[in-house]
Structure 1
Amino acid sequence: MGFTVSEHSAGHMRRILRWFLVRWGLDKVADGAELALTELVANVVRHVPDRGCSVLIQRRPGGLRVEVTDNCPAAPRLTPGGDPLDEGGRGLRLVQAVTDRWGVLPRSAGKTVWFECDG
């Protein structure tokens, strides 16, 4: 499902994600997964000109996979070192810290940023 996101969209996405996680019995990964999804949606708001994206929430054997796809070809970068209070690159450090795996898949018209949490 495609969305145009705004500064307020992350809260709605977190509630949807938690609803699924509770029903799937994956409550223990909810806090980290919600934070990671918030960061990926915030990156769309900040860096994708039309703020358009689609979100896939998928139960997998042993856990969860979330994908955020947009039409901007620029891949997000995990900034090495730097000031931890600096806005740039901090979100991906959080995603890395609260998920088991994450990555970027280039698409013909954009990219998909994904993460997985083991349940």
Structure 2
Amino acid sequence: MSFTAGAHSARHVRRIVRSYLGAWGLAELSDAVELGVTELLANVVRHVPDRRCTLLLLRQADGAGVRAEVSDGSPRLPLRTAHVSDDAECGRGLVLLDAVADTWGVAPGSEGGKTVWFECGTP
């Protein structure tokens, strides 16, 4: 789905993600996937000037895992490793993503943008 991310977008998107995971029989992944998607959307709100993005949620071919992708038009890449101090206001999202996802990364997108993706429940 494509949309402009706002203050309440993550709450609505979490509900949609939970619904898909339940329908796919993967409800046990809901906490991790919802947190990962929330953190990526927070980065869009914070770092992408027009806040436009696309979320793609894919069930893995083996049926046991999920891949989530958030694409935007900003060329600004997230830091692969974040050094977060106790009083830091930024940088915690990717630390959380790293904790809940089996793997994650960044790929170049169209028109100079990027896609940040993560997978949960993969072997």
TM > 0.5 fold call: yes
Unaligned 5+ runs, structure 2: none
Q: Output the TM-score relative to the length of structure 1.
A: 0.94
1:8 equivalent in alignment to 2:8: yes
Match of 2:52 in 1: 52
Partner of 1:87: 89
| Matching residue's letter, 1:114 | W
Instruction: Determine if contact 2:109/2:115 at 8 Å carries over to the other structure.
Output: yes
Q: How many residues align?
A: 119
Considering fraction of residues, name the structure with more strand. Answer: 1
**Of 93, 97, 112, which aligns to 2:99?**
97
Match of 2:69 in 1: 67
Give the Å deviation of 1:36. 0.6
- The separation in 1 between residues aligned to 2:84 and 2:33, in whole angstroms, is 25
CA RMSD of aligned residues (A): 1.3
So what's the TM-score if we normalise by structure 2?
Answer: 0.91
Aligned residues of 1:79 and 1:88 also touching (Cα < 8 A): no
**Within 2, Cα distance between the matches of 1:36 and 1:98?**
7
Residues 48-82 of structure 1, C-alpha deviations (whole Å, 9 max, x = no match): 00000000011012210000000001111144433
- Unaligned runs of at least 5 residues, structure 1: none
1:118 alignment counterpart: 121
